[in-house]
Amino acid sequence: MASLQSSFTVLATTPTPRNSSLSKPSLLPTTNARRSHRFRVSCSSNGGGGVDRRNMLLGLGGLYGASNLISGRKANADPILPPDLSQCDPTGATTTSGGQTVSLDVDCCPPYTDIQSDYKLPSFTTPRVRPAANRGTLKPEYIAKYQLAIQSVKRMRDLDVTDPDDPRGFTQQANIHCAYCNGPYDQPDHPGLDLQVHNSWLFFPFHRWYLYFFERILGSLIDDPTFAIPYWNWDNPRGMFMPEMFTFPGTPAYDANRDPSHIPTGTNPVVTLNVGSTVTDPVQIISNNLTQMYNEMIGTPASATDFMGQPYRDGDAPHGFSGGGTSEQGSHTAIHVWVGDPNNEYNEDMGNFYSAGRDPLFYCHHANVDRMWTLWKDIPADYSKEITDPDFLKSAFMFYDKNKNLVRVTVADALDYKRMGYEYEPSNTPWMNYRPQQRLVPANLESLSKTAQTVAKLFPLTLNNTVKVIVPKPATGKADETLVIENIVTDNTKLVKFGVFINDEDDKPEEVDRAEYAGSFTQLPHRVKAKQSTGNLRLNLKELYENINIADDKSVVVTIVPIINGSAVTIGSVKIVPRVA
Ligand code: C2O
């Protein structure tokens, strides 16, 4: 029985600016003043010669760069501004392969119009109710609902053929995700600095808006304003397999680019939320999943940003894996990996951000991700669930609405989903009661320590084998502390995973539903310039100490278990510090 305190994962994405020297100088006038003077280049004005335009942007950046004498972010931070669609780079979509940034041969830029407006949430009388996708018995009313969903996706796909420039078309909708994640958009006024909606506090609000417009468009294409996207209830054992309605070849909701072993008739049809797990016993998989859910929703986050993701502001370089919240990096990413086809070069479709939106299952998955945000909000906790930072609230995005109008939306307007006119059909959340079972008898630290080494002796090290290390605690026994695994250097081209346990006498690393499990580090191969990344893994220990019923000890024994490619990881050191709020 165990507990995944945190799982940190990253999808193929855009974590660093292409050229950080191009970022905005600290002392330039505010963005709004300059925005109106920017010259505009339409996506097609240079005959698709996107390279020219990129060069031009680089030229601009060079000018900025010349005056950029002050390094770091400017003191007066700003929200992330909506991208300037006229500056979308049709050749800008990239991913990582073999340690190199490679161009993807895909133009993710939306059609451009300079008629734009602020979006106003329309009034409504009946909320759209998103139903659970996986349910035991299928009542006729639900069969009808799902058929409607499939019908609407068909309408959307038809637009790809009849009018590829219609922003409501399926491919155009899928490309939105690529444009916001794989490099085509720069941050306005920061040429060369990618706009990235993952690995930060923008993750939930961006995807809420994305689904909102997708749903409204589907509804309008079938003339049913009550239409709602089903949610893939993968947090419930009943939902821990691919929803059937998506799995019939030749139907609109089907996508051939999925892991063949994970379809309902495949060899491993049970969802695993633990990337890289080799457990095959369905009971253990489900128990591990429920523990992971408990931990990422309740056990691990000790602040709103722990759950939502770290601050990300105008001029910031996109964060790497560690900027994402517990839910994004945990179950969210795990489902992407689980669905994408590992036989495809870039794990298309779900396993890479540029292609994820091409799988209709993406929207069903993200409806549940969004539902997790709503559930977390309502779970009582001893910290505030609100982020009131104006840079968060004023961050904004651009979407096409159901009438093909280009509209600007803010994070502030996405915080209350009920105002947006939809709700979730309630379904069971057994993970809420899945806190790992508390140990009655504390571990015997003295005998555990005999097999462990000191920090000074052991680190730095390459994680070729499981290691056990004695780590001093700032306070004795049960305290509000954080384990920090420092200077983790990984090869960016490799899938890497290791698990972390505290005072573990049983040594069963595949069973994460146990009190001793502190969390894991997962890195998917991803796009960055450098061959290696350096980062820290922080795991809050307060609840774990309760679970393992720690005695009044002055130290713990930390076990670090390489799960995938340990030889591609070096760790600088390990320490325990008082938790910083
Ligand atoms: Cu934008 Cu699930 O990713």
**292-339 pLDDT, tens digit each:** 999 999 999 999 999 999 999 999 988 877 789 999 989 999 999 999
- pLDDT of 492: 72
Between the CA of 133 and the centroid of ligand 1 the distance, in Å, is 19
Q: Is 207 a catalytic site residue?
A: yes
Between the CA of 353 and the centroid of ligand 1 the distance, in Å, is 6
Listed residue (353, 373, 378) closest to 420, CA to CA: 373
Q: Is 365 a catalytic site residue?
A: no
Burial class (CB in 10 A: 0-12, 13-18, 19+), 430: middle
Q: Which residues of 129-163 are buried (b: 16+ CB within 10 A; e: fewer)?
A: ebbbbbbeeeeeebeebbebbbbbbebbeebeeee
User: Residue 507: phi, psi to the nearest 5?
Assistant: 50, 60
Whether residue 502 has pLDDT greater than 90: yes
Instruction: Write out pLDDT tens, residues 42-75.
Output: 232 233 333 333 333 332 322 233 223 233 444 4
List Cβ neighbours of 232 (8 Å cut-off, separation of 6 or more). 133, 134, 239, 243, 335, 361, 364, 365, 367, 368
- pLDDT of 19: 35
Mean pLDDT over the full length of the chain: 85
Per the document, the length of the chain is 581
Between the CA of 174 and the centroid of ligand 1 the distance, in Å, is 11
Q: Whose CA is nearest to atom 3 of ligand 1?
A: 353
On whether the pTM is more than 0.75, the answer is: yes
Q: Is 177 a catalytic site residue?
A: yes
Confidence of residue 95 (pLDDT cuts 50, 70, 90): confident
Listed residue (235, 261, 266, 230) closest to 246, CA to CA: 230
Instruction: Write out pLDDT tens, residues 336-359.
Output: 999 999 999 888 999 988 999 999
For a pLDDT cut of 70, what percent of the chain falls above it?
85
Amino acid at 403: N
* Radius of gyration of the chain, Cα coordinates, nearest whole angstrom: 24
Listed residue (54, 112, 47, 58) closest to 83, CA to CA: 112
Nearest atom in ligand 1 to the alpha carbon of residue 333 is 2
User: Residue 236: phi, psi to the nearest 5?
Assistant: -115, 135
> Between residues 402 and 189, which one has the greater pLDDT?
402
- pLDDT of 449: 96
Nearest atom in ligand 1 to the alpha carbon of residue 177 is 1
For 85-127, the DSSP string reads GGG--TT--EEEETTEEEE-S---PPP--S-EEE--PPP-SS-
Residues with Cβ within 6 A of ligand 1? 177, 181, 198, 207, 332, 336, 353, 356, 366
Instruction: Write out pLDDT tens, residues 140-192.
Output: 888 888 889 899 999 999 999 999 999 999 999 999 999 898 888 888 889 88
Contact 398, 210 (CB under 8 A): no
Instruction: Write out pLDDT tens, residues 516-534.
Output: 999 988 876 655 556 777 8
Query: How far apart are alpha carbons 119 and 124 in whole angstroms?
Result: 15
Between the CA of 244 and the centroid of ligand 1 the distance, in Å, is 21
- pLDDT of 306: 93
Query: How far apart are alpha carbons 525 and 99 in whole angstroms?
Result: 9
Q: Residue 111 corresponds to which tokens in the numbers above?
A: 């059609």
For a pLDDT cut of 90, what percent of the chain falls above it?
65
Residues 127-144, mean pLDDT to the nearest whole number: 87
Query: How far apart are alpha carbons 351 and 356 in whole angstroms?
Result: 7
Burial class (CB in 10 A: 0-12, 13-18, 19+), 418: exposed
